[in-house]
Chains A and B, each alone.
Chain A
Amino acid sequence: MPSLAPTLSSPSAGAPPAASGVRRRTRTAYLLLIPGLLWLGIFFVIPLVSLFFTSLQAPTDKAGVYQPALQVSNYLVALQEYWPQFIRSFVYAGIATVLALVIAYPLAYFIAFRAGKWKALMLVLVVAPFFASFLLRTYAWRTILSDEGAITTFFNALHLLPQGRILNTPIAVVLGLTYNFLPFMILPLFAALDKIDPRLIEASKDLYAKPSTAFRKVIWPLSLPGVVAGTLLTFIPAAGDYINATLLGAPGDRMVGNAIQTNFLQFRDYPTASALSFILMAIILTLVFVYIRRAGTEDLV
């Protein structure tokens, strides 16, 4: 939205746009904005800058103490040591996002078109998992997927599990990621589907479209903004997550989040940890912008 037209009739301006009134209204706008934006500036933007400078610091004689420098090699060292974690993060998050999309779409579709008076209740049920602890819900999967549990026994009987178990394998990590971020997929999908005029679907039926054709030609294209928003809101937290890998995976399934966490909080290797954070952020932002460009939806927020 262009920002340079303060004199156009603003949505709620009943008074004639006298110059002084407009100036006063603009001042009110800035007064409303400044506290919040200042907070984000100080505690979001400046930390990112600080993170960048930390990522270039060099070690000193004392362990855990670093001095300002321009050591670009930190990035190469970080990538060399942790590239498997990066690949794992993006592969796990990618599979989890696709699974979440497949699971979430029917539910979002049902809430938008078929739920009737149950719509509001079903939406509450979709966000309800957020009211229960994230860590405990993830931990509960240890019980559900345990080696003696029904699910593992069933799939083992069919000889479908390469490692003979689900827990402490990449499968459990991906399942955990899919589960944890599912509401982030359902809500934007629902928002997009709910905006579709049901008459468009009726029209496609009147024109003898099969249900599958109606879905492919009408519903799916119109729900794309929701698909884009949902996949991003699922993929981003999944790629940076380390809780699922720690609680449900084996040491060999660690993701880049684990590497950042251990380097920051255990090894106190702040430059490496910062470099890893910065690479993760850069890759994700690049993916986000390329993806949004491709999908052609710029108004996500």
Chain B
Amino acid sequence: MGWLRRNLIGIVAVLVLIYLFIPIAVVAILSFNDPAGKFNVAWNQFSLEAWQNLCGVPGVCSSFATSIQIGILATIVGTVLGTMIAFALVRYRFRGRSTTNLLIFLPMATPEVVLGSSLLALFLNLAFPLGFWTVVIAHIMFIISFVVVTVKARLQGMDPRLEEAARDLYAGPTATFRYVTFPLVLPGILGAALLGFSLSFDDYIISAFNAGTLVTFPIYIWGAAQRGIPVQVNALATLVFAITLVLVLSIQFVNYRRRRKLEKAGA
């Protein structure tokens, strides 16, 4: 009983983590299923069909490719614009700082239906054709705020003495930025970009409003949900999940090893 009481929080923590992963496990398990009817919701029979034939159902892979393209474009632009704002907020003094902060905060405090519908209202009033570019524009808009917040946190957490040391060693502003500041902020920027890409790749609501007849991967899934989601969709989603998780874990591992080395060298 004493052991249970001491470790109660740990047990609850592990249970919550398991809870977070149960639906993902279901998605992954059902990717090896050969469903009895058209709805892939209950286990029937083991099959590798979907994995061997990932693009076997029309529309799955083309919508997947569309989402990747949109994600890459929106992430690059959103990350550059957001990082610039984060630098300005942390490193410079200027008029209108609180307005800037509000403009960054508001998109995050606005429900996605409102973001999506308001952009659609603008495009409709301008008679702007809906499709690939309207979705890219919308995604850049919501990525910016998340990038600003992430990069800002990294910049604020940086030891200012490192840059002072560079200047003491006669590094000019450009050299200081290139060899000290930028490498130190880069993990934060990459993290923000990864977050931005996941948000874009996975976005349904805002895309649905502004896509017109364009079909992104989430829009494909939504449409398919009414008539049965093909097993291939589960396989692709599982693949994306596994690749991203391995990517993030290896970045973490490299960071951990590097920190250990530094700590040892410092000791």
Pick from A132, A141, A278: contact of B237, CB under 8 Å: A132
Known contacts being A3-B96, A124-B252, is A54 close to B121, with CB within 8 Å? yes
**Other contacts beyond A40-B141, A54-B121, A106-B13: 6, CB < 8 A:** A3-B93, A10-B93, A44-B115, A51-B122, A131-B245, A257-B205
| A residues in contact with B233, CB < 8 Å | 136
Give the complex CA separation of A35 and B30 in angstroms: 45
Whether A4 is near chain B, meaning CB under 8 Å from some CB there, is yes
Asked if A144 lies at the interface with its beta carbon under 8 angstroms from chain B, I say: yes
Name the one of A5, A48, A183 contacting B93, with C-beta atoms under 8 angstroms.
A5
Give Cα A37 to B81, complex, Å.
Answer: 8
Q: Are A130 and B202 in contact (CB under 8 A)?
A: yes
CB closest residue in chain A, given B204: A135
* B window 77-116: CB within 8 A of A: 81-82, 84-85, 87-88, 90-98, 100-101, 103-115
**Most chain A CB neighbours (cut-off 10 Å) among B138, B195, B245:** B245
Give chain B nearest CB distance to A81 CB in angstroms. Answer: 17
Q: How many residues of B contact A (CB 8 A)?
A: 94
Contact A129 B20 (CB under 8 A): yes
> B45 CB to closest chain A CB, in angstroms?
16
The reply to whether B114 and A277 contact each other, CB–CB distance below 8 Å, is: yes
* The one of A141, A143, A242 that contacts B30, using a Cβ cutoff of 8 Å: A143
Selected contact of B119 from candidates A47, A243, A256, A284, CB within 8 Å:
A47
CB-CB < 8 A to B209: which residues of A?
A: 261, 264-265
Q: Are A240 and B113 in contact (CB under 8 A)?
A: yes
Q: With A1-B98, A183-B20 known to touch, is A130 a contact of B42 (CB < 8 Å)? A: no
Give the shortest distance, in Å, between A248 (CB) and chain B (any CB): 11
How many A-B residue contacts, CB cutoff 8 Å?
285
Q: Give chain A nearest CB distance to B171 CB in angstroms.
A: 11
How would residues 233 to 267 of chain B score, 1 for a CB under 8 Å from any chain A CB and 0 otherwise? 11001101100110011001001100000000000
Contact at B141–A14, with CB atoms within 8 Å? no
Most buried by A among B87, B117, B240: B117
Interface, chain B (partner A; CB < 8 A): 9-10, 12-13, 16-17, 19-24, 26-27, 30, 41-42, 81-82, 84-85, 87-88, 90-98, 100-101, 103-115, 117-122, 124-125, 137-138, 140-141, 144-145, 148-149, 160, 163-164, 167, 195, 198-199, 202, 204-205, 208-209, 217-218, 221-222, 225, 229, 233-234, 237-238, 240-241, 244-245, 248-249, 252, 255-256
30 contacts across the A-B interface (CB closer than 8 A): A8-B93, A28-B92, A29-B94, A30-B88, A32-B84, A40-B104, A40-B145, A44-B107, A54-B125, A103-B16, A106-B16, A110-B9, A111-B13, A120-B252, A120-B256, A124-B249, A125-B17, A126-B17, A129-B21, A130-B199, A133-B202, A133-B217, A136-B27, A139-B229, A146-B41, A146-B42, A273-B117, A274-B121, A278-B114, A281-B111
Residues of B within 8 A of A222 (CB): none
C-beta contact mask, A1-30 vs B, less than 8 Å → 1, else 0? 101111010111010000000000110111
B227–chain A nearest beta-carbon distance, Å: 13
Chain A residues contacting B164 (CB-CB under 8 Å) are: 14
For the complex, give the distance between the alpha carbons of A241 and B115 in Å.
12
Residues of A within 8 A of B101 (CB): 301
Contact digits for A222-265, partner B, Cβ 8 Å, 1 yes 0 no: 00000000001100110111110001000000001100110011
- On whether A139 and B225 interact (CB within 8 A), knowing A51-B121, A260-B117, A261-B208, the answer reads yes
- Please state if B92 and A32 are interface contacts (CB–CB under 8 Å): yes
A45 to B95 alpha-carbon distance, docked (Å)? 20
Option from B27, B42, B109, B148 in Cβ contact (under 8 Å) with A288: B109
Task: Knowing A1-B97, A51-B121, A109-B9, say if A247 contacts B225 (CB, 8 Å).
Answer: yes
